Amino acid sequence: MESTLDIFVKAIFSENMIFAYFLGMCSYLAVSKTVKTAVGLGAAVIFVLVVTVPVNYLLENYLLKAGALEWMGAEYANIDLSFLSFIMFIAVVASIVQLVEMLVEKFAPALYGALGIFLPLIAVNCSILGGALFMQDRQYSTLFDATAFSLGSGIGWFIAIVAIAAIREKIRYSNVPPALRGLGITFIITGLMGMAFMSFMGIKYGKDKKEDKAATGMIDKAAPAVKTAKAITIKNEIND
Amino acid sequence: MKFLEKQLHKMEPNFVKGGKWEKWNPLFETIATFAFTPKLVTEKGAHIRDGVDLKRTMIMVVLALVPCLIFGIYNTGHWGMVAEAGTRDLAYWSDMGPKFLLGLTYVLPIIVVSYGVGLAVEFLFGMLRGHSLHEGYLVSGMLIPLCMPADVPLWMVAVATVFAVVIGKEIFGGTGMNILNIALTARAFLFFAYPTSMSGDKVWMAGTEKSVDGFSGSTVLGDLATFMGDKAVVAGQEVVGTTQAGLEAITNNYSLIDSFVGMIPGSIGETSTLACLIGAAILLITGVGSLRIMASFFAGGLMMGLILNLAGGNAYLELPAIYHLVIGGFAFGAIFMATDPVTASQTQGGKIWYGLFGGMIAILIRVLNPAYPEGVFLAILFMNVMAPIIDHYVVQMNIKRRLSRLKTA
Contact at CB, A170 and B173, closer than 8 angstroms: no
Q: Are residues B186 and B272 in the same domain?
A: no
Task: Give yes or no for a contact between A195 and B188, defined as CB atoms under 8 angstroms apart.
Answer: yes
A195 and B CB contact within 8 Å: yes
A203 and B CB contact within 8 Å: yes
**pLDDT tens, residue by residue, B302-350:** 999 999 888 877 778 888 888 889 988 899 999 999 998 889 999 999 9
**pLDDT tens, residue by residue, B187-234:** 999 998 988 888 777 777 777 666 666 677 778 888 888 777 777 777
Rounded to the nearest 10 degrees, the angle between the axes of helix B25-35 and helix B2-15 is 160
Interface with chain A: mutation pick from B128, B169, B178, B179, highest number of A CBs within 10 Å: B179
Positions of chain A with pLDDT lower than 70, given as ranges = 1, 118, 204-240
Q: Are residues B172 and B277 in the same domain?
A: no
Q: Is residue B235 part of a domain?
A: no
Interface with chain B: mutation pick from A173, A195, A204, highest number of B CBs within 10 Å: A195
Taking residues B389-400, report their average pLDDT. Answer: 94
What ipTM does the predicted assembly reach? 0.85
A205 and B CB contact within 8 Å: yes
B298 has a pLDDT exceeding 50? yes
Q: Are residues B272 and B183 in the same domain?
A: no
A22 and B CB contact within 8 Å: no
**pLDDT tens, residue by residue, B67-95:** 999 999 999 999 888 888 877 778 888 88
Q: Are residues B64 and B153 in the same domain?
A: yes
Instruction: Report which listed range, A183-187, B118-122, B352-356, B373-377, is most confident.
Output: B352-356
Chain B residues close to A189, C-beta within 8 Å: 179
Q: Are residues B173 and B81 in the same domain?
A: yes
pLDDT band at B186 (very low <50, low <70, confident <90, very high): very high
Contact at CB, A199 and B180, closer than 8 angstroms: no
- Which one of A166, A188, A196 has the shortest CB-CB distance to B381? A196
Q: Is residue B280 part of a domain?
A: yes
Report the alpha-carbon distance of residue B39 to residue B22 in Å, rounded: 20
Q: What pLDDT score was predicted for residue A56?
A: 92
Q: What pLDDT score was predicted for residue B256?
A: 86
Q: What pLDDT score was predicted for residue B251?
A: 82
Report the domain count for chain B.
Answer: 2
Which residue, B175, B198, B221, sits at the end of a domain? B198
Q: Are residues B66 and B185 in the same domain?
A: yes
Query: Could you give the C-alpha distances from B121 to B51, B133, B164, B169, B216, in angstroms and in order?
Result: 29, 10, 10, 11, 38
Q: Is residue B243 part of a domain?
A: no
Q: Is residue B338 part of a domain?
A: yes
Taking residues B87-109, report their average pLDDT. Answer: 88
pLDDT band at B40 (very low <50, low <70, confident <90, very high): low
Q: Are residues B171 and B69 in the same domain?
A: yes
Q: Is residue B214 part of a domain?
A: no
Chain A residues close to B378, C-beta within 8 Å: 196, 198-199
Nearest CA-CA partner of B234 in B259, B253, B207, B213:
B253
Q: Are residues B193 and B312 in the same domain?
A: no
Q: Is residue B254 part of a domain?
A: no
pLDDT exceeding 70 applies to what percent of chain B?
A: 93
Chain B residues close to A195, C-beta within 8 Å: 185, 188-189, 192, 381
Q: Is residue B408 part of a domain?
A: no
Can you spell out the DSSP letters for B271-292?
S-HHHHHHHHHHHHHTT-S-HH
Nearest CA-CA partner of B343 in B401, B406, B293:
B293
Q: Is residue B252 part of a domain?
A: no
Q: Are residues B301 and B177 in the same domain?
A: no
Q: What are the beta bridge partners of residue B238?
A: B233
Q: Are residues B66 and B144 in the same domain?
A: yes
Which residue, B151, B168, B198, sits at the end of a domain? B198
Q: What pLDDT score was predicted for residue B43?
A: 66
Q: Are residues B271 and B153 in the same domain?
A: no
Chain B residues close to A188, C-beta within 8 Å: 167, 171
Contact at CB, A199 and B173, closer than 8 angstroms: no
Task: Give yes or no for a contact between B247 and B312, defined as CB atoms under 8 angstroms apart.
Answer: no
- Which residues constitute the domain of residue B282? 265-400
Task: Give yes or no for a contact between A131 and A52, defined as CB atoms under 8 angstroms apart.
Answer: yes
Task: Give yes or no for a contact between A54 and A146, defined as CB atoms under 8 angstroms apart.
Answer: yes
Which residue, B149, B174, B198, sits at the end of a domain? B198
Chain B residues close to A170, C-beta within 8 Å: 179, 388, 391
Interface with chain A: mutation pick from B392, B396, B397, B400, highest number of A CBs within 10 Å: B392
B158 has a pLDDT exceeding 90? yes
Contact at CB, B392 and A198, closer than 8 angstroms: no
In chain B, the residue whose alpha carbon lies closest to the alpha carbon of A170 is: B388
pLDDT band at B38 (very low <50, low <70, confident <90, very high): low
Q: Are residues B194 and B269 in the same domain?
A: no
